[in-house]
């Protein structure tokens, strides 16, 4: 369109009047009054226009008495008539470059002259005036014969008629300017609304798309293009369904079919939908749509707001993942293991199958970071997890319980002894050297095994009994495994009770020392003393070191107890010396108590 190209080419907010054109849809002649719209950055943003029927101006002709041969013409500065009427005939589109009107206008913007009509040969008095705010010339003419007829009767009628005629020209021009001003104000209002909408559309922090009722994309904003990685021209004309993930495409296809069948029907509520990025990844968004009605009141198109929630979705998925899986190794955690074991037990109960539950305890893994470098322990745990998975079958489950403790659940065992074969395979796999940063590292493991049915009917029972068997295996040395036996629970319970009692034994002054002299058999002379630790248990009486020292070592209580032994021995030596009893002095040996502070010996004198 001419008016569109003019505004696109020229940076001016002045209105433009196009030439009369025959509408392709309406089949009627009209000319466009248009105005340029700029984007916020000043670049061309579009055009707002109003189509004006040339007959719109005929009402001014009907309201004026110009006689039977009077004429009214609206001419653009390009010399093309936008509207004209002579008698009852409406004319437009005439080129008036060679007319007297255009020649006179070139001299003065307003004036009068006498012209002879080319078609009817009538002489007419023509008055014209340019409109200040619009590129238009208004010309009004009346027949000279009609104007002078009364002059021959009464001369003053001529002057009166001429004055009235000139007044009409002014009034007509004023009325036309008022009408065009109303059009201009309406256009400015529409332009401002369009500019506000365009600014919101282009600068919105959410994706906005306008689509036909069949979801064919008519318009997309920059944010939507950014979300999916496409250029605007790559999206326009495509169906919105083609941009959805396969899971969401079927659901939204049903919605599209319902929309086409019943455009006035209810729209789905706000929902979460996955879109496909240009690189193939999924972009998650909250989507809400609104139907916009056309001039006839029927649904015309669809506006959809698309808010990117991909980061929130990923965070939620990460939280859900960490609730069930170990962040370091990717193995199921204790919670997930419990769920899987429960499901496997339910299936085994239906099929009368066997299940093996193994607890694998690794020695000294937690010390790797301090012994080598930060992160060495984590790297070792990852490699251990990989070896355990290679030792397991596809139907088995490997889980990390925390620290250096793992679990392995064996499904569909043919017999209980098969669990022992797997346990030995795991021990052999873990006994192979690990290479950490060029250093060869070896670890050991102990495994406890509980079998369903027999050692427990639920997940908690099996895990507890497998743990008891693992603790029993540790008592037999490294790289060993043991099956659960019922008496292990009694032993484990007793051990827990001793653990609890030992934590209060030091403060309760329940530890005692028995001194045993060391005699040189060849001379009979006492060469030294041995201080033997005893525990006076409130309920079980005096207990030998073999019954509680291993527990002290496991719980970390061996250091404070060893310090108490050293301090007590030094104080006893001072007492003996004060009584005149000679005590042979020599190196003090504190077996199993290597990490002791010398403060006790120094303060004891």
CATH of the domain at 218: 3.30.450.20
pLDDT in the model for residue 7: 78
**Is there a single domain that holds both residue 505 and residue 402?**
no
* Domain-embedded: residue 212: yes
* Cα gap 318→314, rounded to integer Å: 6
* Domain-embedded: residue 570: yes
pLDDT in the model for residue 162: 56
* Cα gap 122→467, rounded to integer Å: 121
For residue range 161-196, list pLDDT tens digits in order: 555 555 555 555 566 566 666 666 665 565 566 566
pLDDT-based confidence at residue 149 (cuts at 50, 70, 90): low
pLDDT in the model for residue 17: 77
* Domain-embedded: residue 320: no
* Cα gap 534→546, rounded to integer Å: 10
* Cα gap 64→52, rounded to integer Å: 21
583 to 107, 165, 517, 562, 579: CA distances (angstroms): 140, 147, 10, 21, 11
**Is there a single domain that holds both residue 505 and residue 474?**
no
Residue where a domain stops, chosen among 484, 505, 522: 484
pLDDT in the model for residue 605: 36
Percent of the chain residues topping a pLDDT of 90: 12
**Is there a single domain that holds both residue 237 and residue 337?**
no
The residue ranking higher by pLDDT, 24 or 568, is 568
Q: Which long-range contacts (CB under 8 A, 24 or more apart) does 531-536 make?
A: 531/565, 531/568, 531/569, 533/561, 533/565, 535/502, 535/505, 535/510, 535/511, 536/510, 536/511, 536/512
Looking at the chain, how many residues does it have?
Answer: 605
**Contact (CB, 8 A) for 459 and 493:** no
**Is there a single domain that holds both residue 209 and residue 195?**
no
pLDDT in the model for residue 596: 40
* Domain-embedded: residue 464: yes
* Domain-embedded: residue 224: yes
| Torsion-angle region of 18 (φ positive above 0: left; ψ -120 to 50: alpha; else: beta) | beta
**Is there a single domain that holds both residue 192 and residue 166?**
yes
pLDDT at 333 over 70: yes
Instruction: Return the number of other C-beta atoms located less than 10 Å from residue 304's C-beta.
Output: 21
Q: Is residue 205 helix, strand or coil?
A: coil
pLDDT in the model for residue 153: 56
Residue where a domain stops, chosen among 184, 203, 222: 203
CA-nearest of 341, 333, 323 to 405 is 333
**Is there a single domain that holds both residue 345 and residue 473?**
yes
Which tokens in the block code for residue 581? 């009893």
Q: Is-cis flag, bond preceding 453, omega within 30?
A: yes
Instruction: Return the number of other C-beta atoms located less than 10 Å from residue 286's C-beta.
Output: 16
* H, E, C per residue of 526-584: EEEEEEEEEEEECCCEEECHHHHHHHHHHHCCHHHHHHHHHHHHHHHHHHHHHCCCCCC
The residue ranking higher by pLDDT, 220 or 585, is 220
Burial 120-147 (b: 16+ CB within 10 A, else e): eebbbbbbbbbbeebebbbbbbbbbebb
pLDDT-based confidence at residue 601 (cuts at 50, 70, 90): very low
Span of 378-387, 442-451, 499-508, 566-575 with lowest mean pLDDT: 499-508
pLDDT-based confidence at residue 134 (cuts at 50, 70, 90): confident
Strand partners, 302: 211, 291
Average pLDDT over residues 554-565: 83
* Cα gap 81→90, rounded to integer Å: 11
* Cα gap 449→466, rounded to integer Å: 5
**Is there a single domain that holds both residue 17 and residue 85?**
yes
Which tokens in the block code for residue 273? 């939908």
**What is the end-to-end Cα distance of the chain in Å, rounded?**
110
Percent of the chain residues topping a pLDDT of 70: 77
Mutual angle of helices 155-203 and 144-153, in 10-degree steps: 150
pLDDT in the model for residue 190: 56
The residue ranking higher by pLDDT, 554 or 490, is 554
pLDDT in the model for residue 407: 94
pLDDT in the model for residue 64: 57
R_g of the chain computed on alpha carbons: 51
The residue ranking higher by pLDDT, 61 or 298, is 298
Q: Is residue 445 helix, strand or coil?
A: strand
Sign of CA dihedral 297, 299, 300, 305: positive
- CATH code for the domain of 440: 3.30.70.270
* Cα gap 400→249, rounded to integer Å: 38
Q: How far is CA 554 from the centre of its chain?
A: 47
- CATH code for the domain of 581: 3.20.20.450
pLDDT in the model for residue 358: 94
**Is there a single domain that holds both residue 101 and residue 190?**
yes
Strands (E), 369-479: 397-402, 405-413, 434-436, 439-441, 445-452
**Is there a single domain that holds both residue 247 and residue 258?**
yes
pLDDT in the model for residue 305: 87
Q: Which long-range contacts (CB under 8 A, 24 or more apart) does 374-378 make?
A: 376/436, 376/437, 378/328
* Cα gap 580→584, rounded to integer Å: 12
| This prediction's pTM | 0.48
**Contact (CB, 8 A) for 29 and 92:** yes
Residue where a domain stops, chosen among 203, 233, 253: 203
* Domain-embedded: residue 490: no
pLDDT-based confidence at residue 383 (cuts at 50, 70, 90): very high
359 to 397, 448, 461, 492: CA distances (angstroms): 12, 5, 13, 15
**Is there a single domain that holds both residue 103 and residue 195?**
yes
Q: Give the contacts of 22 (CB within 8 A, at least 6 positions apart).
A: 28, 29
Instruction: Return the number of other C-beta atoms located less than 10 Å from residue 74's C-beta.
Output: 22
Average pLDDT over residues 72-83: 81
How many CA atoms lie within 13 Å of 74's alpha carbon, on the beta-carbon side? 30
pLDDT-based confidence at residue 554 (cuts at 50, 70, 90): confident
* Cα gap 401→470, rounded to integer Å: 14
**Contact (CB, 8 A) for 137 and 61:** no
**Is there a single domain that holds both residue 586 and residue 535?**
yes
* Domain-embedded: residue 419: yes
Average pLDDT, whole number, for the chain?
Answer: 78
**Is there a single domain that holds both residue 298 and residue 348?**
no
pLDDT in the model for residue 466: 92
CA-nearest of 348, 80, 64 to 72 is 64
* Cα gap 557→562, rounded to integer Å: 9
* Cα gap 416→76, rounded to integer Å: 103
* Domain-embedded: residue 321: no
Span of 160-174, 195-209, 236-250, 429-443 with lowest mean pLDDT: 160-174
Q: How many domains does the chain have?
A: 4
pLDDT-based confidence at residue 268 (cuts at 50, 70, 90): low
**Contact (CB, 8 A) for 37 and 191:** yes
Domain limits at 511? 497-603
**Contact (CB, 8 A) for 90 and 144:** no
pLDDT in the model for residue 595: 40
């Amino acid at each position: 369109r001419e008016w569109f190209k003019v505004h696109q080419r020229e940076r001016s907010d002045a209105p433009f009047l196009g030439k009369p054109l025959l509408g392709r849809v309406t089949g009627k002649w009209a000319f466009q009054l248009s105005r340029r719209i700029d984007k916020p950055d000043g670049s061309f943003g579009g055009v707002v226009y109003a189509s004006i029927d040339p007959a719109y101006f005929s009402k001014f002709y009907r309201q004026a008495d110009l006689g039977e041969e009077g004429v009214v013409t609206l001419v653009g500065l390009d010399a093309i008539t936008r509207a004209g009427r002579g008698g009852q005939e409406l004319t437009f589109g005439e080129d008036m470059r060679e007319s007297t009107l255009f020649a006179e206008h070139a001299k003065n913007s307003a004036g009068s002259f006498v012209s002879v009509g080319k078609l009817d040969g009538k002489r007419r008095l023509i008055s014209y005036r340019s409109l200040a705010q619009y590129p238009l010339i208004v010309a009004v003419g009346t027949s000279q014969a009609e104007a002078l007829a009364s002059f021959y009767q009464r001369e003053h009628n001529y002057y009166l008629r001429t004055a009235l005629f000139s007044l009409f020209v002014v009034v007509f021009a004023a009325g036309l300017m008022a009408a065009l001003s109303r059009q201009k104000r309406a256009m400015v209002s529409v332009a401002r609304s369009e500019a506000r909408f365009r600014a919101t559309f282009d600068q919105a922090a959410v994706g906005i798309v306008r689509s036909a009722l069949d979801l064919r994309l008519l318009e997309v904003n920059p944010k939507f293009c950014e979300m999916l990685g496409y250029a605007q021209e790559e999206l326009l004309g495509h169906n919105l369904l083609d941009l959805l993930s396969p899971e969401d495409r079927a659901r939204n296809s049903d919605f599209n079919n319902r929309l086409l069948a019943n455009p006035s029907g209810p729209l789905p509520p706000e929902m979460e939908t996955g879109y496909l990025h240009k690189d193939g990844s999924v972009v998650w968004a909250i989507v809400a749509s609104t139907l916009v009605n056309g001039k006839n009141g029927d649904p015309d198109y669809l506006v959809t707001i698309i808010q990117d929630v991909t980061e929130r979705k990923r965070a939620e998925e990460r939280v859900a993942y960490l609730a069930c899986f170990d962040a370091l190794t990717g193995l199921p955690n204790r919670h997930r293991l419990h769920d899987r074991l429960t499901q496997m037990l339910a299936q085994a109960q239906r099929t009368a199958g066997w299940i093996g539950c193994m607890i694998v305890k690794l020695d000294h893994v937690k010390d790797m970071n301090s012994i080598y470098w930060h992160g060495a322990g984590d790297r070792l745990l990852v490699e251990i997890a990989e070896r355990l998975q290679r030792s397991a079958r596809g139907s088995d489950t490997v889980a990390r319980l925390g620290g250096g403790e793992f679990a392995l659940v064996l499904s569909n065992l043919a017999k209980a002894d098969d669990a022992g074969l797997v346990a030995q395979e795991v021990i052999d796999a873990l006994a192979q050297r690990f290479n950490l940063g060029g250093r060869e590292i070896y670890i050991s493991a102990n495994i406890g095994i509980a079998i369903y049915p027999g050692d427990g009917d639920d997940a908690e029972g099996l895990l507890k009994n497998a743990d008891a068997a693992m603790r029993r295996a540790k008592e037999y040395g490294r790289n060993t495994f043991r099956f659960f036996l019922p008496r292990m629970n009694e032993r484990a319970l007793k051990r827990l009770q001793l653990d609890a009692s030992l934590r209060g034994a030091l403060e309760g002054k329940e530890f005692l020392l028995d001194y045993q002299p060391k005699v040189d058999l060849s001379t009979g002379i006492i060469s030294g003393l041995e201080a033997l630790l005893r525990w006076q248990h409130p309920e079980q009486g005096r207990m030998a070191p073999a019954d509680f020292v291993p527990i002290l070592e496991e719980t970390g209580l061996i250091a404070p107890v060893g310090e108490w032994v050293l301090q007590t021995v030094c104080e006893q030596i001072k007492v003996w010396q004060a009584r005149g009893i000679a005590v042979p002095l020599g190196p003090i040996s504190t077996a199993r108590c290597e990490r002791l502070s010398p403060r006790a010996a120094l303060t004891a004198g």
